[in-house]
Amino acid sequence: MHLALTTLINRLDSTDTRRAGVILWGCPVPSFGDLTKSEVATLGLNPSNKEFVDDSGNELSGAERRFHTLRSLGLETWRETDARHIDLILNSCKNYFFRNPYDRWFRKLDAVVAGSGTSFYSQHAGACHLDLIPYATESKWTELTTQQKGWLTASAGDSLGLLLRDSPIQILILNGQSVVTTFEEISGITLKRKEQRTWSLPRQNGRDVIGISYVGETDEIAGINLGHKVRVLGFNHNLQSSFGVTNHVMHEIHRWIRRESKEAGS
């Protein structure tokens, strides 16, 4: 983790990262939770700016702070980072769910992750969250231009492989169609797609949004050999933003993850 984080910090100075709208004064976020002790990880696109700022755009501080920044570490630039700063950043990642987590986002995801027998909020059967791009951006991913997204994947597309290579992760859960699509593009993996009628979301125009599951397995991402097999599970509904994700659909996805997790362990 130390080596991977050092690499991510060094990339904050890259031209691609700088012009992509990254919050440059905020640290990279290699994980939410303890990656070194988790066998299950969920996957998103990139950290929310809300991990660093409040609703008024002010930097979080004191008990509200979630991750380190240049200010909190007493640095002028990231080039001044040493081993002590690396440890502080990693500790904020490991303890994320026991400090001031962004529960409005993570609680919904935790409800389906529980199907794997783990939880973000458990000390004993912990799960963690990872992002394809470990840098928070000033704008939401959906508001970034195609060019900005390209710059980010060019500078950090191998980040997931770097992190998984040094981890015990056995199951990776992809939250939403955008994550699935971007994961396939970055990793070069095509996941097996299947319609799940019990996941359908009703619409007033009479045309339901059909649920889709994705399953795959890999030991390599973006050319990086992970050293072990990782089972990949995904669903097209973004639990936090898809309109009309009902408790029934959440329960059905939970059940599906439970079944697929048992297969992974068999």
Domain boundaries, the chain: 2-265
* Whether 43 contacts 183, CB under 8 Å: yes
The tokens of 261 are what?
């997790």
pLDDT at residue 242 in the model: 59
Q: Which CATH number, 3.40.30.10, 3.40.1640.10, 3.40.470.10, 1.10.260.40, labels domain 2-265?
A: 3.40.470.10
Low-confidence ranges of the chain (pLDDT < 70): 242-243, 264-266
Q: How far apart are CA 228 and CA 85, in angstroms?
A: 30
Take residue 209 and report the two structure tokens written for it: 């949004």
Exposed e or buried b per residue across 109-127, where buried means at least 16 C-beta atoms within 10 angstroms of its C-beta: bbbbbbbbbbbbbeeeebb
Per the CB < 8 A criterion, the answer to whether 117 and 33 are in contact is no
Strand 224-235: give its sheet, edge to edge.
128-131, 40-44, 171-175, 224-235, 209-221, 192-201
Whole-number pLDDT of residue 241: 75
Beta-carbon contacts of 146 under 8 Å, excluding residues fewer than 6 positions away, are none
Q: How do 224-235 and 209-221 pair as beta strands?
A: antiparallel
